[in-house]
Amino acid sequence: MPPSLFSTMFLFLLSLVDLSMQQKHTTTDPNSLSLSFTLTSVRLSKNTTSKMFDNSLIGNNRRVSPYNYKLSFKYSMALIVNLPIGTPPQVQPMVLDTGSQLSWIQCHKKAPAPPTASFDPSLSSTFSILPCTHPVCKPRIPDFTLPTSCDQNRLCHYSYFYADGTYAEGNLVREKFTFSPSLFTPPLILGCATQSTDPRGILGMNRGRLSFASQSKITKFSYCVPTRDTRPGLIPTGSFYLGNNPNSNRFRYIDMVTFPQTQRMPNLDPLAYTVALQGIRIGLTKLNISPAVFRADAGGSGQTLLDSGSEFTYLVGQAYDKVRAEVVRAVGTRIKNDYVYAGVADMCFDGNALEIGRLIGNMVFEFQKGVEIVIPNERLLARVQPGVHCLGIANSDKLGAASNIIGNIHQQNLWLEFDLINRRLGLAAADCSRLPK
């Protein structure tokens, strides 16, 4: 599997069920609710009392999360957070994915030798499998697009497919996230994968009713992605907050674009964190791209979303072609001809990445209210193989998708807060590698 196509690479979902080329997901009301591949340890910091945490996660319907809870994650090509699941807890590596709904873990008994860091259901006293008669096992559209079926034991079986051809399947189950004897979630609906193409799980954090955020009634969460370090053995650590973030007084907010529950478009992901991208600058040049290219049209094409589970940023053809033309103008013959990384990215180079970056200049994504995401020229290129670097932008048309997706490569050194109640996104520049752990 190409490393740039993990989570919604494990990226954005293929339209599950019959939504051809609609990237994953379902519809829900955010007012009802309160991503490579490195195994790591995670540090859990309790900033409030156990009682406050319990009240927020266990059945509390209050509109404001009455707790702060901080975790850490490791960042290489995905955001990997280790979470304690079950009773007693078994630590599971999961990709923090704002682009998908269903959380799932690897499920295998410990003997014979299981895949890396898998969860053994027989060792947990709080584990249960959903029967076929459970309401969630009856797919509803557009509320729930996860294809399910009954297995030979009359248990609920699911299959989850991703845009890059990876998949996970197994049973839908209920299980707790158990941080300590007094800190735990209620039993949440998860996927318990017995077959998959990747050894890690997914922490689904989109706006869907079965996401971790929704089931746990979290009203906001935030994370800060550190800069990459490609030196062997050095994996940067980022910060992940459930609830309030003590840095939020520096955030600037933009509105999320939401869609009615009943609105169905073949290319729309109604549960994504959608934003109104206004334009793109490269160096001193404002690209001649109509803002309409970054908005969902009548069929849903053109939606712009933020996805922690996608490594690269993806642009629809109209925008990608304008970016590529400006890059070629800046670098001339230095671009690597007849080279396409992972079938989707063809702005690649041999030689010194910093020198190429300086020729191109800084890149800026422009949003409403003057809010910007600035990508310094020294972080424009991503190493994809020894001696080869590519601009971290790919053509979503070649992926068979119709969306603009801002991936985690362009979320480095940036606080992102997802305020579910107020339907807004907070952003602030930060040195994410140097935050207090």
Q: Which two tokens stand for residue 284?
A: 């001193």
**Distance (Å, whole) CA 35 – CA 94:** 7
Q: What is the dihedral of CA 357, 362, 367, 369, to 10 degrees?
A: 160
The dihedral over CA atoms of 46, 52, 57, 60, expressed in degrees to the nearest 10, equals -170
| CA 221 centroid distance within chain | 13
User: Are the beta carbons of 105 and 190 closer than 8 angstroms?
Assistant: yes
Of 127, 83, 84, the closest CA to residue 109 belongs to 127
Q: What is the CA radius of gyration of the chain?
A: 21
| Torsional sign, CA 204, 210, 216, 221 | positive
d(CA 88, CA 227): 35
The one catalytic residue among 97, 198, 269, 419: 97
Q: Are 366 and 374 in contact (CB under 8 A)?
A: no
Q: Which of 37, 82, 408 is nearest to 196 (CA)?
A: 37
Q: What tokens does 151 get?
A: 């297995």
**What is the rounded CA–CA span in Å between residue 208 and residue 102?**
8
- Establish whether 297 is a catalytic residue: no
97 among known catalytic residues: yes
Q: Cα–Cα–Cα angle for 296, 299, 302, nearest 5°?
A: 30
Residue 141 CA: distances (Å) to CA of 138, 264, 266, 274: 10, 9, 12, 20
Catalytic residue among 164, 198, 269, 307: 307
Answer positive or negative: Cα dihedral of 314, 319, 323, 328.
Answer: positive
Q: Which positions are catalytic?
A: 97, 307
